[in-house]
Structure 1
Amino acid sequence: MARIAMARHILVKTEAEAQRLKQSLERGQPFEKLAKKHSTCPSGKRGGDLGEVRPGQMVGGIDRAIFKGPLNTLQGPLKSKFGYHLLEVFFRG
C-alpha cells in the first residue's frame, strides 16, 4: 500500500511574514483562520488543508518535511520555489 499523509500549510511570500504567522499560531490563533486570510496557495480557501499527500507530490523540501518531519508539530518556515511554508502533518500511513 502506498504511503500517504494528511497535512495542511500556509504559504506566504516572505520569511518575515511566515515568522509573524508562526508567532500568531504559537499564541493560539486558529491555523484554518490564518490560512484562509494569508495563504497564497489555493489550499488556503480550505484552511490550508492539502488533503491526502503521497511521496513525490510536493516540492523536495516540503515532501521531506511531510514524510520525515515530526507529526502534530508546526514546522517552518520552510523555503521552496513558491515561497515560505508553515506546515503541520497530522497523519502518516
Structure 2
Amino acid sequence: MGKDGAKAKGKEASGKGKQAGGGGGADKGGAADKGKGKKESKSDGLGTCTYVKARHILAEKQGKIQEAYKKLQEGWLDSGDKVPPAEFAKLAAEYSECPSGKKGGDLGWFPRGKMAGPFQEVAFNTPVGTLSAPFKSTHGYHIILVEGRKN
C-alpha cells in the first residue's frame, strides 16, 4: 500500500504543497509531502490526510452565517460539547444557500485538491468532530463540520 499511496499523493501534490508548506519544494511528490506533514501535526492527522468527510453551511451574507454560528455556540459550543451532525444538518437545511443544504450540508468524502483555496485549507485542518469558525471564500461565508478523515 505504501507505493500506491505515494503515487496517489503525487497526483495531488499541487493542493498539498499549498497546504503543507506554502509552495516551495513540496510539489515534488509523496516523499517531500510526508516530511512536511510529519513535523506539523503527526499525532492528530491534520494536514496529512488525503480525504475529508464534511458538512457545511454556505451563506452569501456574513450576518446570516454569524447567526447560524451563534445558534451552534449557544446550543453546544458554549457548554464545551461537540455539535452532533444531525443537529448541524438541521441548521444547514435552514441556513445554507448551497444545494447541499437540502442534504444537511453533506459534502461526503472529497480529496485534497477538489475544493478551492480557503475551503480546502479549513476542511483539512479542522479536527474530526469539531466545527470551524466562520470564514470567507470566493463563494461566500462558510462553517464546516468535519466528520472524518482518511488516507
- Is the TM value for this pair above 0.5? yes
Q: Mapping of 1:26-37 within 5 angstroms?
A: 26-28=73-75, 30-37=87-94
Provide the identity percentage: 42
Give, in whole Å, the separation in 2 of the partners of 1:70 and 1:15. 24
Query: What does residue 88 of structure 1 align with?
Result: 145
Between structure 1 and structure 2, the one with the greater Rg is 2
In the alignment, which of 45, 55, 61 is matched to residue 112 of structure 2?
55
Q: Mapping of 1:5-84 within 5 angstroms?
A: 5-28=52-75, 30-84=87-141
Equivalent AA in structure 2 for residue 24 of structure 1: K
Instruction: Give unmatched runs, 5+ long, in structure 1.
Output: none
Worse-superposed segment, 26-35 or 16-25: 26-35
Q: Per residue, is there more helix in 1 or in 2?
A: 2
Superposed CA RMSD in Å reads 1.5
Q: Under a length normalisation based on structure 1, what TM-score does the superposition of the two structures give?
A: 0.90
More contact order relative to length (CA 8 Å, sep ≥ 6): 1
Give, in whole Å, the separation in 1 of the partners of 2:139 and 2:70. 21
Q: Per residue, is there more strand in 1 or in 2?
A: 1
Q: Under a length normalisation based on structure 2, what TM-score does the superposition of the two structures give?
A: 0.57
